Amino acid sequence: VELHVELRKALDAGRFELFYQPQTDLRTGALAGVEALVRWNDPVKGYVPPSEFIRAAEESGLIERLGEWTIEEACRQTVRWKRLGLPPVRMSVNLSARQFRGEDLYRNVRSIVRETGADPRQLLLEITESVSMQDVPRTIRIMNELRGEGIRFAIDDFGTGYSSLQYLRSFPVRHLKIDRSFVTDLLRAGGSEPIVKSILDMAGHMGLDVVAEGVETEEQCRKLRQLGCGEAQGFWYSRPLPEAEATAFLCKLK
């Protein structure tokens, strides 16, 4: 069976789940937010990561449904956590290129937010650098429409694409995510430290918050803090957690 057929069946059968990975404020150690990461829970294969199906979902057009489901589920989760008495959690959600190119993103997101009763100010939509650069005026227009609802944006995988700094300045974004590859290479002699420093320096001047991805060791953490990076996400703090474990994680912090 072709992958996109399997994916469609899985979507109909409710076999997708969101995992949540905590993001930590490096200055205070407090929770800064979580990133929702989709998983396909297949009865035979177990949890299948997005690297194995996002492309097929994009190519088949299924990503529009899957993406809407993801935003809706992330919104519902913020409401469930609120009902448990937890403080509002910033919820990052990844948008795919195709979702962002679709005409209805603004209306869809707006209606999902209204129907779920989520607070749009908790939502932080992540778009990759390459997606944001495809049609810059249009990207800015859609971002501004959603900004009008109180939704914020982050540029994901920053440093791996070719965004002009001039364009970056005109995007209504407040957050950059430093790509994991730079964190991995941060402590090696001749590694990525100069690049990370430059990104942090630029972000500081532009008033952008920075999240470093893929932080796996205490040494990386210490270095990032020393360089003035605001937030970190990675296995050092926590793997992406299924709902029940993420809820337990948040309850422990309260």
What is the binding site for Mn ion (CB under 5 A)?
A: 94, 126, 156
Q: Which CA distances in Å does 72 have to 31, 98, 115?
A: 23, 17, 9
* Footprint (CB under 6 A) of ligand G, residues 106-145: none
The residue (of 83 and 100) whose beta carbon lies closer to ligand G is 100
* Footprint (CB under 6 A) of ligand G, residues 194-223: 213-216
Residues 193, 224 contacting (CB under 8 angstroms): no
Binding flag, residue 157, Na ion (CB under 5 A):
yes
Measured distance CA(239)–CA(80) in Å, rounded: 21
Binding flag, residue 94, ligand G (CB under 6 A):
yes
Q: Identify the CA nearest to 155 among candidates 184, 84, 136, 145.
A: 136
Look at residue 28 and give the partner it binds from Na ion, Mn ion, ligand G, none, a contact being a CB closer than 5 to 8 Å depending on partner kind.
none
Q: Which tokens sit at 158?
A: 């920053």
| Residue 57 DSSP symbol | H
Contacts with Na ion, 183-222, as mask; x by CB under 5 A: ----------------------------------------
Candidate list 27, 47, 49, 84; residue touching ligand G; CB under 6 A: 49
The residue (of 118 and 173) whose beta carbon lies closer to Na ion is 173
Binding flag, residue 129, Na ion (CB under 5 A):
no
Q: State residue 77 phi and psi, 5-degree precision.
A: -65, -40
